[in-house]
Structure formats: C-alpha cells, structure tokens
Amino acid sequence: NTNTNTNTNTNTNTNTNTNTNTNPRVILTNPSFATDIQEIFDRIGCATSDCHGGANRGGLGLASADASYANLVDIPAFAVNNPSIGLDRVEPNDHLASYLWLKVSGTTAGPQMPQGLPPLDQIDQTNIMNWINTGALEN
C-alpha cells in the first residue's frame, strides 16, 4: 500500500497598475514654473474658461505657462475692491510680498484662492512658495 501526495501550488501575482503621472506630488526645493506651478493651476481649475483661463478674472490669465508667467511675475496686483494693493502678483525671492502667495495661503483680505474650492494642500502651497523664493524663474 503506497500513498503519494503531490501538492503543486503556483501563485502568480502580476501588478499591471502603471502610474503615468510624470509629475509626482512631492515638495520640491526648486520647482519648475512650466512643469510644476502651471500644473497646479491646470489641475485645480484656475486655468479653466470660467476662472483665470478664458475669462481672465481680475485681469489675470492663467490659460498657459507662457500667459501665466507673463501675467504674474513683477506685475502689480489689484483687486476689484482695492485697485492699488501695493504688491506685485509675484515678487521674485519674496513670497510674503507676493499677492499670489497671500491669496493661496489665505493670509490676506478677501476670499482665499482658488475661490469656491478647497484651499490648496500643503504640497501645492509649499511648491508655490519655493518657486517664488528661488527667483520665480520662467523654467
């Protein structure tokens, strides 16, 4: 009497989940404007036609990296209820003197941007701050 027990167990686990996001959401010490900052505007809806895309609310167009940069850096900021704020939209190397930073961080009068949406998370806010503080380069 012979008893033979053969147990063959093959477990194949193949992960086909591919992350195609070429811009991982991490805090960057030297963010690129075109790749990292414009991506924030695009992702959260600032560049849409009903905001700063086609409508250019507040005279600020953010529809493309070229337009955004031209409308932000060293450009005097203004608001409908305060036409002379006394700040630039983006003051290179000084986020605290940059109206963009004050609006996205919620540290100035008026609604925090993006208006009507949740505030930017810490990653996005820090990347904007780091971009400004490293010279607000058009890169």
Q: Residue 8's pLDDT band (boundaries 50, 70, 90)?
A: very low
Q: How far apart are CA 48 and CA 56, in angstroms?
A: 9
Phi-psi region of 121 (alpha: psi -120 to 50; beta: other; left: phi over 0): beta
Please give the model's pTM, rounded to 2 decimal places. 0.76
What tokens appear for 39 in the block? Answer: 């991506």
Q: How far apart are CA 137 and CA 25, in angstroms?
A: 20
Domains in the chain: boundaries: 50-133
pLDDT in the model for residue 13: 35
List pLDDT tens digits, range 46-80.
666 666 666 556 678 788 899 899 999 999 997 76
